[in-house]
Amino acid sequence: MTADDHPRADPSPPAADVLADVAKATSLREGREGIATVLRIVASYGPLALRDLARLVRMPLPVVSAIRRELETLKLLERGQGVALSATGRAFARDELGLEAPQPEPAAPGSPARPPRARPADDAGDTLDPVLAPLLPAMETHLADGPKVDVTLDQAPCTAETALRRAFAMHQAGALAGRRILLIGDDDSLSIAIGIVARALSAAPRRLTVLEIDPERLAHLERGAARIDFPFERIAHDMREPMPEALQGGFDVMATDPPYTLPGMALFVARGIEALAAGPGLPVFLSYADLSPDDRLDLQARLTELGLAVLRMRPSFNRYGGASILGSVGQLIELETTSRTASPLAGQRFDGAIYTGEIRPRLRRYRCKACAALVPVGADQAVTTIEALKEAGCPQCGAHTFERQRGGKKGRGG
């Protein structure tokens, strides 16, 4: 259905700059994105008691009250059984925010306000919300078609359950419907999960773009997009290079599951910042390893240097298949841009080490079970991984089975 198929409310919805005008009128530090968040929450969970709305948007009650008054003056909100979108507000949410706003549910005379829909608990693990359970087979089918893991790129694809839960977490945060989303690296196939979840919840993003260095992963995503009939942009790109000019400033949501080193994490997030529009309050989703307190403090310091504010940390939210580098689990960190968010690398190439094998190289030796030849394997060797050695075969006899010799030492730079 096109926008022309919907009868417009009378009067016509205000122009999109109303968000900035209301933010200025209420001196809202979150800027226009904060006003958009209020409208998104009301569209998804309204009618709401004002106190519940303040809790869901994480703003002080007096601030939300002031926002409500401004939006009521503009006839975007109305009162009744709680704070709700008016007919004009629903048209605005649809046309300007890209939301498929639900129609209001009629309430019986004298009945209490309908409570907000419950949000899933932030529990770790693979527990699926009931709305996601029917979507799991499609995600599992996609992952079963995946290429071999390239450990030199710190690839560690997450489980089908985690991919769906991550996409659903983005939806819960108002970061899916009508959004312009950039994924920095996607060996987790989050793009496919977003497509599956968005279709099930009528929460299609306005734009979805994936930057990925691995051509086999890109081909896998192409097959997945065709299978679920959800087209999106897929671009081959090395994050060491600056963000392509055509993508700079073109997104309002960014998500990444970067290399599990601080330099790699900081690089991927910095590149994502280059692609985000200016202004505070834009959502950033970072998947990273569960860390010790000291390492977690270092991570937070890096994020602070980039001008990002931590909104929520969910330990052990992510599950990975065979990801020994992560202990098979990892955290999901929800961040927001601020007025000080900036990339120190904008327009510059990054020539430092970013992957685990580069920063903490280890030399391992494998004995061929056929001829007993010893083959060194490491980041600075002719053969970099055991997977590559098994595929190529023993350089002496060509056999493909090996036994690791214990006592491997750290390589140069370890």
Q: Is there a domain that residue 289 lies in?
A: yes
Residues 9, 257: contact at Cβ < 8 Å?
A: no
Last residue of a domain, one of 337, 353, 383: 337
- Contact in structure between 81 and 48 (CB atoms under 8 Å): no
Task: Report pLDDT for 411.
Answer: 37
Q: Are residues 303 and 403 in the same domain?
A: no
Q: What is the pLDDT of residue 112?
A: 45
* 287/366 same-domain check: no
Cβ neighbours of 348 (radius 10 Å):
12
Q: Which of 95, 111, 145 is the last residue of a domain?
A: 95
Q: pLDDT below 70 — which residues of the chain? A: 1-16, 101-126, 155, 322-327, 358-362, 379-381, 384-385, 406-414
pLDDT at 349: 95
The answer to whether residues 242 and 166 belong to one domain is yes
**DSSP-derived secondary structure for 208-259:** EEEEES-HHHHHHHHHHHHHHT---EEEE--TTSPPPGGGTT-BSEEEE---
**Domain harbouring 295, CATH code:** 3.40.50.150
The rounded distance, in Å, linking the Cα atoms of 404 and 203 is 49
Handedness of CA 171, 175, 179, 181 (dihedral sign): negative
What is the per-residue pLDDT for 160?
95
What's the pLDDT at 407?
54
* Contacts of residue 280, Cβ cutoff 8 Å, sequence gap at least 6: 29, 30, 31, 33, 34, 336, 337, 338, 339, 341
For 103-161, write each residue's pLDDT tens digit: 555 444 444 444 445 443 444 555 788 999 999 999 999 999 988 877 777 768 899 99
Q: Would you state the structure tokens that stand for residue 272, as one six-digit string?
A: 């994502």
- Structural domain boundaries enclosing 286: 133-337
Nearest Cα neighbor of 162 from 255, 44, 259 is: 255
Residues 380 and 325 in one domain: no
Please indicate, yes or no, whether residues 137 and 281 belong to a single structural domain of this protein: yes
- Tell whether 153 is covered by a domain: yes
**Are 90 and 147 members of one domain?**
no
Same domain, 324 and 374: no
The tally of domains found in the chain comes to 3
How high is the pLDDT of residue 41? Answer: 92
> Which pLDDT score, from 0 to 100, does residue 379 have?
60
Residue 250 resides in a domain: yes
Final residue belonging to a domain, choices 95, 119, 144: 95
Same domain (yes/no): 287, 385:
no
Residue 317 inside a domain? The answer is yes
> Do 302 and 403 belong together in one domain?
no
Instruction: Check which CATH number belongs to the domain holding 30 and give it.
Output: 1.10.10.10
Do 205 and 90 lie in a common domain?
no
